[in-house]
Structure 1
Amino acid sequence: MDVNDLLTEAYGRLPELVEPAVAGLSPQRLRQAPAPGANPVGWLVWHLTRIQDHHVADLLGEEQLWVSGDWAGRFGLTPDPHDTGFGHGPEQITAVRPDSGRVLVDYHRAVLDRTLAFLRGLRPADLDRVVDPNWDPPVTLGVRLLSVLADDLQHAGQAGYVRGLIERE
């Protein structure tokens, strides 16, 4: 298995986690936190998709789909390219208001499709390219891709868990 197949396979597993986490949930349920200060399913899936969109767009040197498309309005937000959910407090979390589970799945799918196209074009040597010299050691493309994937998997798992919690009520 080469690097393209490995990364494509890994990222390609995300819909198997994202889609069941939001399927059939009303907009109210998507915004329901399982406890005060906890993140709701909709915010978790929005956040993991925003992180991927933000980082992959940067790697491609292109505009984020969040900014170039009509996604933001469907979440009750503005298309701010810096708003990825990182560091959000309670007010910012509740401001993320997806109008349906479908919009979460569709935005995730659009971002994932672009990510997969990017991954298919990689060569092993590309992974050593420094993409962020502001860290010690500098961050390479390979490390960035693994970091985004790890973040996505963690938040997708959290979304599934939170769904289970809110459905028990």
Structure 2
Amino acid sequence: MSTEEMFVASLRNRIRAMNILWERAASDLTLAQVNHHEREGVLPMAFSFSHYIKAQDQAISRVFLGEEQLWISGGWAEKVGVNIDVLGREETVEEMQHLRFGNFEQWKAYQLRVIARTAHALDGISAGLLAEVLMPQLPPNMQNIFCAIVIGPGAPLRKLEVLECFVYQHGLRHMGEIEHGRALVGLQGMTS
């Protein structure tokens, strides 16, 4: 196995492992638990689920499959009964702390479809595909995001960074929020 093949396999495996954590995290939560709002200024788990899984859906659907997001094409906002239907990247904590799901079983169904779509897309990645440049540099409104730190000033955004930053590292960051939220409602974390 070449170094490039080993790297691609590692990235594929890391994203799949992380998505297993997302599946486990949702599996034993109730609607009341996922919507639990600890106090002002603290986001409910519903926000972290909504923000991250919809971002994964967007990245995989648009960048790797050239398709519309499942969230949109499947009418999931209505099925899930989400009361605030925005990604939550540019909105404030004060706004997003009010996000709630109406039907967590429908959310779980949507999340499973996103994860399956991601697994399918990962089957087709290669080092050459990951090297493809999507934009010569991030736009001004994205200069303060984590990915901007990863790629550095003036550097191009490649498909690699979409998977590394917007899918993998982003997913792990928000999984930490989920694990903390689970503790606040009396549940265990996802790993030891």
* Structure-1-length-normalised TM-score: 0.84
Give yes or no for the alignment of 1:97 onto 2:104.
no
- Name the larger-Rg structure: 2
Q: Which has the higher contact order (CA 8 A, sep 6+)?
A: 1
Question: Counterpart of 2:79?
Answer: 74
Q: Secondary structure at the match of 1:94?
A: coil
Q: How many Å separate the matches in 2 of 1:108 and 1:14?
A: 13
**Identity over the aligned pairs, expressed in percent?**
25
Distance 1:79 1:4, change over 3 A: farther
Structure 1 residue 121: Cα displacement:
1.0
Structure 2: state its 5+ residue gaps: 139-153, 188-192
Question: Counterpart of 2:180?
Answer: 161
Distance 1:7 1:108, change over 3 A: farther
Question: Counterpart of 2:151?
Answer: none
- Give a deviation string over 1:16-47, Cα, whole Å, max 9, x none: 32233333332222111233211111221121
Question: Counterpart of 1:65?
Answer: 70
Question: Counterpart of 2:37?
Answer: 33
Q: Is contact 2:48-2:178 (8 Å) kept?
A: yes
Q: How many Å separate the matches in 2 of 1:145 and 1:121?
A: 13
Question: Counterpart of 1:17?
Answer: 21
Q: How many residues align?
A: 165
Q: How many Å separate the matches in 2 of 1:79 and 1:133?
A: 33
Structure 1 residue 98: Cα displacement:
4.4
Q: How many Å separate the matches in 1 of 2:80 and 2:95?
A: 14
- Give a deviation string over 1:95-154, Cα, whole Å, max 9, x none: 332412x33332222112112211211221111111123422110111111002100111
* Structure-2-length-normalised TM-score: 0.75
Question: Counterpart of 1:120?
Answer: 123
Structure 1: state its 5+ residue gaps: none
Q: Which amino acid aligns with 2:131?
A: D
Structure 1 residue 157: Cα displacement:
2.1
Q: Is contact 1:42-1:104 (8 Å) kept?
A: no
Distance 1:79 1:69, change over 3 A: farther
Structure 1 residue 93: Cα displacement:
3.9
Q: How many Å separate the matches in 1 of 2:23 and 2:38?
A: 19
Structure 1 residue 9: Cα displacement:
1.0
Q: How many Å separate the matches in 2 of 1:73 and 1:106?
A: 13
Give yes or no for the alignment of 1:144 onto 2:173.
no
Distance 1:79 1:36, change over 3 A: closer
Q: Is contact 2:47-2:96 (8 Å) kept?
A: no
